[in-house]
């Protein structure tokens, strides 16, 4: 469930920066083009800047690390190198898999001696070593902190009145906290003791950034309870489709039972998994959309231009 309004923390402006390196990831270059387009529109409308990395490599997702720890860190280090070369101290990724992999790499590279070890590999590969580790964030964390509900409200020329949306965050958005830095309730003193505490991280157990933004855009959010962060099974969409489907179905059923029409997500892999399950369960009258599509819609962009099909939008 999303943290109730009275317990939420206001955005921490300036902690990440208005201009950041945009780590698009493989999916947004390809099938999740609509996510990319809407993310850009939203950032622009909110006076923020996504500076796309001119060159990047796959984050390694959850797969490369299973074969080799070192290789997974090398992929991360090269991405950080590219971001630094473009002069950035912060990277923003729109996908849970990417943000997980980048945060993980950031955290593990900050261990004693790790960065110099990986820098040697980068040099061997003819790449620029990383002078300073940039911080990795999820797109949603960035939008909430650098713009926040206030700005969204100001820009919502066509509020999403009467739209019932369930916000689905997925597992890797905030988990595990050792990588996401989500220690939202630690005191200042304790934050120091928790070495990777990140002020801009969402709540560790009851994330609310997406709810807050969509509420500000005029939508009515629907509570998903524990399913807001339970895994959609996308890791196994292909490998163990039955398992993945039963996991996705739990989320879909809950959203449906709570009366949602739309399920907003912040990750292309979640969308794929949820839609694959939906394709077999058309009785669940739900459409899965990116939260940025809904924001862009509220900002006045026509649904067609956002890649929102008629069935997703009307009905």
Question: Binders of another protein among 26-65, rule CB under 8 A?
Answer: 26-27, 29-31, 33-34, 55-58, 60-65
Residue with Cβ nearer another protein (135 or 237):
237
| CB atoms closer than 10 angstroms to residue 110 | 12
Residue number, 46 or 244, with CB nearest to another protein: 244
Residue 144 in tokens = 């909430």
Q: How many CB atoms lie within 10 A of CB 154?
A: 12
Cis peptide before 176 (omega within 30 of 0): yes
What distance lies between CA 181 and its chain's CA centroid? 14
194 binds another protein (CB under 8 A): yes
Report in angstroms how near the CB of residue 18 gets to another protein at its nearest. 27
Contact at 8 Å (CB) between 99 and 270? no
The reply on whether position 238 binds another protein by CB under 8 A is yes
257 binds another protein, rule: CB under 8 A: no
Q: Output 121 or 284, the one with its CB closest to another protein.
A: 121
| Residue 66 within binding range of another protein, rule CB under 8 A | yes
DSSP 220: E
Q: Which of 244, 255, 262, 298 binds another protein (CB under 8 A)?
A: 244
Under the criterion CB under 8 A, does residue 288 sit at the interface with another protein? no
Nearer to another protein, 36 or 151 (CB): 36
Q: Which of 20, 136, 272, 286 binds another protein (CB under 8 A)?
A: 272
Of 26 and 284, CB closest to another protein: 26
CB of 256 to another protein, least distance (A): 17
Both tokens of 307, joined, read 């890649």
C-beta closer to another protein: residue 67 or 157: 67
Q: Running DSSP on this structure, what letter comes out for residue 41?
A: H
The answer to whether 4 contacts another protein (rule: CB under 8 A) is yes
Q: In angstroms, what is the minimal distance from the CB of 203 to another protein?
A: 6
Shortest gap between Cβ of 112 and another protein (angstroms)?
14
Establish if 230 lies at the interface with another protein (CB under 8 A).
Answer: yes
Q: Which is nearer to another protein, 52 or 161 (CB)?
A: 52
Q: What's phi and psi for 191, nearest 5 deg?
A: -60, -35
Size of the site for another protein (CB under 8 A): 79
Alpha carbon distance 80, 105 (integer Å):
9
Residue 67 has a CB neighbour count (10 Å cut-off) of 10
Minimum Å gap between C-beta 189 and another protein is 8
Grouping H, G, I as helix, E, B as strand and the rest as coil, residue 274 is helix
Q: Binding residue for another protein (CB under 8 A) from 9, 86, 199, 236?
A: 236
Report, in this order, helix, strand and coil percent for the chain, each rounded to 5. 50, 10, 40
166 lies in the site for another protein, by CB under 8 A = no
295 exposed, middle or buried (CB, 10 Å; 0-12, 13-18, 19+)? buried
Of 225, 40, 224, 21, the residue nearest 137 (C-alpha): 21
Does residue 290 interact with another protein by CB under 8 A?
Answer: no
Residues 129-158 that bind another protein (CB under 8 A): none
DSSP 130: P
């Amino acid at each position: 469930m999303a943290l109730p309004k009275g317990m939420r923390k206001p955005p921490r402006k300036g902690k990440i920066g208005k201009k950041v390196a945009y780590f698009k990831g493989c999916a947004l270059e390809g099938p999740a083009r609509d996510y990319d387009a809407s993310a850009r529109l939203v950032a622009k409308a909110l006076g923020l800047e996504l500076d796309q990395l001119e060159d990047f490599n796959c984050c390694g997702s959850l797969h490369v690390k299973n074969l080799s720890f070192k290789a997974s860190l090398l992929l991360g280090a090269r991405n950080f190198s590219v971001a630094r070369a473009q002069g950035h101290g912060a990277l923003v990724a729109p996908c849970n898999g990417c943000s997980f992999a980048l945060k993980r790499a950031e955290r593990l590279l900050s261990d004693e001696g790790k960065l110099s070890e990986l820098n040697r590999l980068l040099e061997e590969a003819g790449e620029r070593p990383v002078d300073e580790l940039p911080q990795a964030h999820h797109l949603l964390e960035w939008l909430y902190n650098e713009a926040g509900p206030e700005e969204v409200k100001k820009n919502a020329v066509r509020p999403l009145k009467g739209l019932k949306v369930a916000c689905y965050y997925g597992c890797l958005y905030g988990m595990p906290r050792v990588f996401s830095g989500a220690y939202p309730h630690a005191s200042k003193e304790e934050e120091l003791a928790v070495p990777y505490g990140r002020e801009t991280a969402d709540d560790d157990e009851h994330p609310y950034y997406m709810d807050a933004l969509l509420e500000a855009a005029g939508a009515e959010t629907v509570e998903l309870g524990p399913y807001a962060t339970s895994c959609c099974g996308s890791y196994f969409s292909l490998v163990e489709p039955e398992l993945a489907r039963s996991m996705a179905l739990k989320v879909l059923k809950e959203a449906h039972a709570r009366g949602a029409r739309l399920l907003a997500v912040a990750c292309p892999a979640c969308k794929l998994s949820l839609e694959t399950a939906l394709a077999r369960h058309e009785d669940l009258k739900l459409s899965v959309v990116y939260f940025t599509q809904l924001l862009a819609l509220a900002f006045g962009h026509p649904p067609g231009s956002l890649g929102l099909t008629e069935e997703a939008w009307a009905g």
